[in-house]
Amino acid sequence: MAPRTGEGPPVTPDGRYLVVRGRLWRRSDPRLGDEERAGLTAELMSARRAKGAAMRAGDEAAREAARARVDAAKHALGERGPVWWDDGAPDLTRHLARTGPYAGWWAEVSGEAGSGAQPGT
């Protein structure tokens, strides 16, 4: 899978992460069907809206319930919890793209100077 070149954040060559503000964030499990992914994404967005509304209302119990919904949706999407790949590679979510195994790729994609090890090395 190549980095995204259109709209949206860049995606690592292996398709595991997208990069936002220089940080790696795990992508959804590609094995999910389109309908399942759409349903889970809709639930995630609904839960996020509920959390925001609860925070604006100062309702701590509703905020915690909404946070639990967000967490459940992210787990179901594969963005949290056990990784969805099976080659033993660690989860690098929240790591900087300019360090670690994606450093060389990130330097090319972002135009940042410097290089590092390539993924899989």
When pLDDT is averaged across residues 78-93 and rounded to a whole number, the result is 96
Taking residues 100-116, what's their average pLDDT?
83
Domain ranges of the chain: 1-27+87-121, 34-78
Q: How many of the other CB atoms lie within 10 Å of CB of 31? A: 9
> Exposed, middle or buried: residue 111 (CB in 10 Å: 0-12, 13-18, 19+)?
exposed
Tens of pLDDT, residue by residue over 36-58, are: 999 999 999 999 999 999 999 99
Between 114 and 59, the higher pLDDT residue: 59
| Predicted local distance difference test score (pLDDT) of residue 5 | 52
| Torsion 22-26-32-35 (CA) sign | negative
Residues found in the chain: 121
Mean pLDDT of 11-21: 96
Helix, strand or coil for residue 18?
strand
